[in-house]
Amino acid sequence: MLEIHVIDKGAVNGFAAWAQSGGHQLVKHEEENNLLKFWIKKDNFLYVNIPLCVYWNKIKEALYMGETKKTTIVLLSGDYDKAMAAYIIANGAAAYDHEVTIFHTFWGLNALRKEEKVPVQKGFMEKMFAKMMPRGANKMGLSKMNFAGFGPKMIKRIMKKHNAMPLPELIEMAKEQDVKLIACTMTMDLLGLQKEELLEDIEYAGVAAYLGEAEDGNVNLFI
């Protein structure tokens, strides 16, 4: 039996769906002091003799031996809110034990840019693109009500108040969950972006690599 505490009110439907898809049983849930408590039971539990010090991924491999599902996301948008939605879905899918791939192309590449300025050789047009585009996930604007940069500050303040994770932390969480982050090399050439300007531990590929991932995908999204 697993007891889980959350503050998200939408978790009532979320945990029910998760339990059903994973072959678990949502025994009960209750609310206490704005805190939701869930009790999850795994039916037909597979008992294995594994020391608790073994990595959690090893334990998951022993407990969940079903078919691996795949989720692929094309992130085209350079908007903070749309990129955040993509990474929330990606982290959620990874928590469902999906193999997740996010293919960043055009303005979506800005989510992978380092915040600090990296000295690289560029032509005139590449330098202009670099100045006009946001440097890093935290500098991206909103798709609606951006208000010359005031909108993102306002939404980030509200997110902090409600303990919601900002986009840079969602990206780090995606890395920790082994979400495959791919930068489109063709678009990098068009925008003049170089590998030194992007985050560490990401992959570089073209459209053929994405199609290979999407072909076996159970969920394919374009954001």
Q: Nearest Cα to 42, choosing from 23, 64, 14?
A: 23
In sequence order, what E strands does 122-185 have?
A: 180-184
Give residue 176's pLDDT. Answer: 94
Q: Count of CB atoms within 10 A of residue 75's CB? A: 28
Give the per-residue pLDDT at 64: 53
pLDDT in tens, 19-31: 776 677 888 888 8
Domains of the chain: 2-63 (no CATH), 69-222 (3.40.1260.10)
**59 touches 75 (CB < 8 A):** no
Let me know if 49 is exposed, middle or buried by CB neighbors in 10 A (0-12, 13-18, 19+).
exposed
For 83, list phi and psi in degrees, rounded to 5: -65, -35
Strands 98-104, 180-184: pairing kind: parallel
pLDDT for 93 equals 92
Residues in the chain where the model's pLDDT stays below 50? 45-55
Distance CA 62, CA 65 (A): 7
The pLDDT of residue 48: 42
Indicate the pTM of the whole model: 0.73
